[in-house]
Amino acid sequence: MASLNAISEALQKGKADEVKALVTQALEEKVEAKKVLEEGLIAGMDIIGGRFKRNEIYIPEVLIAARAMHAGMSVLEPILIESGVKMIGKLAIGTVKGDLHDIGKNLVAMMYKGAGFDVQDLGVDVAAEKFVQASDDGADLVGLSALLTTTMVQMKNVIESLKEKGSKAKIIIGGAPVTQNYCDEIGAHGYAADAATAVEIGKALIKA
Ligand code: B1M
């Protein structure tokens, strides 16, 4: 019998094929898809997030675990959609206008997927209007990433546009030059210095 713990452990080791096979086996054994997601995949990704935050592992290990998470999700997703299982929230994330850096943003997006969020990746060089559109389309959280001191100022424009349109979405920002002070100054709801913290803050923001 496929154990949920085995799925979590295979994910942490980045064994994508094994994760896929174990998820398939669990479903064949009639384990509920939601349970496989929460107690297998998300549990494994949670452990990876914590280890990354404590600097026990680094970006390559997180990316490999995320690939294994995707492999498991490719089996689970159609069943979750069919059974109407609600994701815990919807995040629309992008790198702001003028900025092409996406490694950190992708990592944040992966961590959110790993935590059970429905993630809309808007890509790089994203104009304010696209974030507004994503909020209109039902995002609970809007995530802005910037790696350049010259583009982080775009975050303020996005926040102003969202507020002007009466957006109810919570706004979380991050990226190397961004700070908590900057977050407070431009009126974002949350700031995170790394991808694991971004998920913790995002979860708290949508509960608030
Ligand atoms: Co660029 N670049 N780059 N670059 N680049 C930096 C950022 C720079 C610090 C290098 C330097 O000069 N030392 C510098 C910025 C200086 C500044 O503004 N203060 C710089 C520059 C100047 C430039 C160009 C202008 C260079 C040129 O053309 N003259 C140019 C700009 C292009 C543009 O964007 N318009 C440019 C281009 C590039 C490449 C295309 C070559 C490439 C990007 C490839 C890609 O992303 N696909 C690149 C890279 C790779 C870097 C460095 C080397 C690495 C960035 C990175 O991916 N880090 C970087 C120097 C450095 O940081 N050592 C540099 C790893 C990543 C995981 O970290 O993105 O910080 P990071 O994400 C972290 C956290 O910040 C946080 O979580 C992540 C993981 O824990 N986080 C969030 C990120 N987003 C978040 C969002 C959140 C929450 C947390 O909520 C939504």
Does the model's pTM come out above 0.75? yes
Q: Is the CB of 153 under 6 A from ligand 1?
A: no
Same domain flag for 60 and 135: no
* Residue 57 lies in domain: 4-82
Protein residue with its CA nearest to atom 41 in ligand 1: 101
**Model confidence pLDDT, tens digit, residues 53-92:** 899 999 899 999 989 998 998 898 888 777 767 788 999 9
Question: How many structural domains are present in the chain?
Answer: 2
**What does each C-alpha distance from 171 to 94, 119, 136, 158 come to in angstroms?**
12, 14, 14, 10
Q: Is the CB of 89 under 6 A from ligand 1?
A: no
**Model confidence pLDDT, tens digit, residues 20-62:** 999 999 999 999 988 998 899 989 988 998 999 899 999 899 9
Same domain flag for 77 and 103: no
Q: Confidence band (pLDDT; 50, 70, 90) for 140?
A: very high
- Determine the average pLDDT of the residues in 1-9: 88
In the prediction, which pLDDT does 88 show?
A: 87
pLDDT above 90 coverage of the chain, percent: 75
- Ligand 1 center from residue 85 Cα (angstroms): 36
User: Is 127 or 82 the better-scoring residue by pLDDT?
Assistant: 127
Distance CA 4, CA 7 (A): 5
Would strands 118-126 and 170-174 be described as parallel, antiparallel, or unpaired?
A: unpaired
Distance CA 40, CA 151 (A): 39
- Ligand 1 center from residue 119 Cα (angstroms): 22
Q: Average model confidence (pLDDT) for the chain? A: 93
In the prediction, which pLDDT does 1 show?
A: 59
Q: Confidence band (pLDDT; 50, 70, 90) for 2?
A: low
Same domain flag for 67 and 142: no
In the prediction, which pLDDT does 71 show?
A: 92
| Best CA proximity match to 108, nearest among 152, 146, 158 | 146
Q: Is the CB of 44 under 6 A from ligand 1?
A: no
Protein residue with its CA nearest to atom 88 in ligand 1: 174
Which residues, including other chains, have CB under 8 Å from residue 92's CB and lie 6 or more apart? Answer: 119, 120, 122, 131, 134, 135, 137, 139, 141, 142, 143, 169
Q: Which residue, chain included where needed, has tokens 């970006």? A: 59
Q: Is the CB of 144 under 6 A from ligand 1?
A: yes
Distance CA 201, CA 126 (A): 22
Same domain flag for 101 and 173: yes
User: Is 156 or 116 the better-scoring residue by pLDDT?
Assistant: 156
In the prediction, which pLDDT does 79 show?
A: 85
Same domain flag for 75 and 103: no
- Give the end of a domain, one of 30, 61, 82: 82
Q: Is the CB of 107 under 6 A from ligand 1?
A: yes
Same domain flag for 18 and 75: yes
Q: Is 142 helix (H, G, I), strand (E, B) or coil?
A: strand
Question: Could you tell me the CATH number of the domain that includes residue 78?
Answer: 1.10.1240.10
Q: Is the CB of 95 under 6 A from ligand 1?
A: no
pLDDT above 70 coverage of the chain, percent: 98
Same domain flag for 12 and 112: no
In the prediction, which pLDDT does 171 show?
A: 98
- Decide if pLDDT at 104 tops 90: no
Same domain flag for 78 and 105: no
Which residues, including other chains, have CB under 8 Å from residue 99's CB and lie 6 or more apart? Answer: 124, 125, 145, 146, 147, 148, 151, 154
Same domain flag for 111 and 179: yes
Same domain flag for 190 and 113: yes
In the prediction, which pLDDT does 21 show?
A: 97
Q: Is the CB of 174 under 6 A from ligand 1?
A: yes
**Alpha-carbon 115 to chain mean position:** 7
